[in-house]
Structure 1
């Protein structure tokens, strides 16, 4: 009876979470922030700094870093992003005036870009109308803007209290666990925490390192939108190869339009080649290692499945959830190998790897 009640409670909690997804954003982001910085606050606590003061110091330092980024970096990113958006109409002109005539002359195929241009313009007008309509509705009612502002203000508040009271929250969760399972659940929780924490902090460091590497490299070769493209490619690099592919395409297009020559494109490829080498031999081993050990195809599937099921936050949480599921799966596999179904009725449990060696006689 108790198992049925627990199962019904879990299903009910999942259903409730699904319907509350629109208002859970600040809580999810606040929890992630608290989780990422909890080891640092814990370390300060061990050195005599209370969790309240430690959390305050962390938030003060984060606010200073954010302020410096807003003052120094954000205007540059906005300027370069606007410049990058203006590149695409020029790209369409290049396709029409150079690429299509070359393709027609070489292959004999007649291509028409007028329909493509009309399609792009029509969709652009549609998007502009939707955005304008949305902005007018927001300005008229103010509800969406108020909710967005409240969510933005709630994130640091939720993160502060979760980070300050993290041991209390964990202790209360532990008190709710069934006593005869508390040791096994605690073991899985520690393993999940080790894998998940190291992966999240490491992957964040890899993304920042990639963004800085690409931005510096593209700026040094003279690309005017190098910082915007480089940082975007770095932030998208949590999906294997996606950040590199998108960054290369954007940088090649921007550089070709800027330089009107093919030779600088080799420099772009060189920058991303060096960035990939650094990520492989330096950033990944240093910051992440083999914490999850998922195949790149499995990573891509996890991210796409998360986005399909839960939208943007599904994309963000796909790999962390996969890390926890890997730990749970390893324990489930170990239990399966110890079961009578796996061993057979009269077979004893064998350690992994045993039973395959030839018997000398």
Structure 2
């Protein structure tokens, strides 16, 4: 009977935790439309908790430190959005509108180089009129799709509720989570199963290191690259250089995508703007080459590091899967979930390599 009970207990426990995980995913899927302010509030609280802890060490109470940090973060967010977002959207719309003209001018500047190559490969020569017509149609479709998406979102009551809650509810959620952060962690710690508490604490610490190392480090990388690209492209005189640089830097959290998209947009714009002054094109290329080398050799190793254990392919898969399953909320939680899954998988692999299933039976010969 004792053996049967020992065998049954682990199986029951596994079924319990699998049921909890399935229930959590189901609840996340059902409440997806209203979770945005809570997820954003939790992300902000996670980012801002170290600042609150430092203020506590300086002698402030937890509530006062939380109030100061929340108010400061809200003011900075509102000020930044008010100052940057409207002109940025205007520049982006103008860039999309002028994209057909830029595409034709860029192709015209490199046409003498690529025409002989196209002839050798058996392709027909480029028609600038057809290219302009295609580019104009593409730009119109992009603007039309963006307008229709905005229109549909504006008509959906859930979207309006999400927007209002994001503006007004997120600061409240952030404040209460920050104020009670230590209490929440203590409550979770007290609820851990006693015979596995040490293992769970160890995995939680490894997950925290991975998540904090990636999120906080990658946020700094994106901020530095956005500033570098925006200022650098503006200084070399590239039209729309500021908005292109910001876009390239802010999407650099997707491996290779930010640099690739920014390089294509900026060099294409440079080919339309600078020739026959090829030095301007070289300066634009140099800005992105410098940013790429700085990210790969200085920023990512110093600010993110290899200790997080997140492979670029795993990050891209997590972002696509999270966005496909849960929309924008899924994108927000994709990387933290991927980090935790990576930590758990590495732990299970260590357990597997230490087990008899992997090692087999050792026989003398």
Q: Indicate the TM-score class for this superposition, using the shorter chain for normalisation.
A: 0.7 to 0.9
Distance in 1 (alpha carbons) for counterparts of 2:268 and 2:292: 20
Identify which of structures 1 and 2 has the higher relative contact order when contacts are C-alpha pairs closer than 8 Å and 6+ apart.
2
Q: TM-score, normalised by structure 1?
A: 0.83
Q: TM-score, normalised by structure 2?
A: 0.82
**1:233 Cα deviation (Å)?**
0.7
Cross-structure match for 1:200? 215
Equivalenced residues, count = 347
**1:189 Cα deviation (Å)?**
0.7
Provide the secondary structure at the position in 1 that maps to 2:349: helix
Answer yes or no: is 1:23 the counterpart of 2:38.
Answer: no
Answer yes or no: is 1:145 the counterpart of 2:156.
Answer: no
Distance in 2 (alpha carbons) for counterparts of 1:275 and 1:135: 33
Cross-structure match for 1:253? 268
**Structure 1 unaligned residues grouped into runs of 5+:** 348-361
Provide the secondary structure at the position in 2 that maps to 1:291: helix
Provide the secondary structure at the position in 2 that maps to 1:266: helix
Distance in 1 (alpha carbons) for counterparts of 2:255 and 2:198: 36
Cross-structure match for 2:257? 242
1:54 to 52, 55, 65: 65
Answer yes or no: is 1:285 the counterpart of 2:296.
Answer: no
Instruction: Give the 4+ runs in structure 1 shifted more than 4 A.
Output: 95-108, 110-143
Cross-structure match for 2:283? 267
Distance in 1 (alpha carbons) for counterparts of 2:240 and 2:354: 58
RMSD: 3.1
Distance in 1 (alpha carbons) for counterparts of 2:18 and 2:216: 33
**1:113 Cα deviation (Å)?**
6.3
**1:154 Cα deviation (Å)?**
1.8
What are the within-5 Å matches in structure 2 for residues 1-361 of structure 1?
A: 1=12, 3-70=14-81, 72-94=83-105, 107=118, 109-111=124-126, 144-261=159-276, 262-346=278-362
Distance in 1 (alpha carbons) for counterparts of 2:86 and 2:245: 15
Provide the secondary structure at the position in 2 that maps to 1:222: coil
Q: 1:68 to 1:220 in 2, by over 3 A?
A: same
Provide the secondary structure at the position in 2 that maps to 1:49: coil
Moved more, 15-24 or 337-346: 337-346
Cross-structure match for 1:359? none
Distance in 1 (alpha carbons) for counterparts of 2:163 and 2:273: 38
Q: 1:89 to 1:129 in 2, by over 3 A?
A: closer
**1:7 Cα deviation (Å)?**
2.7
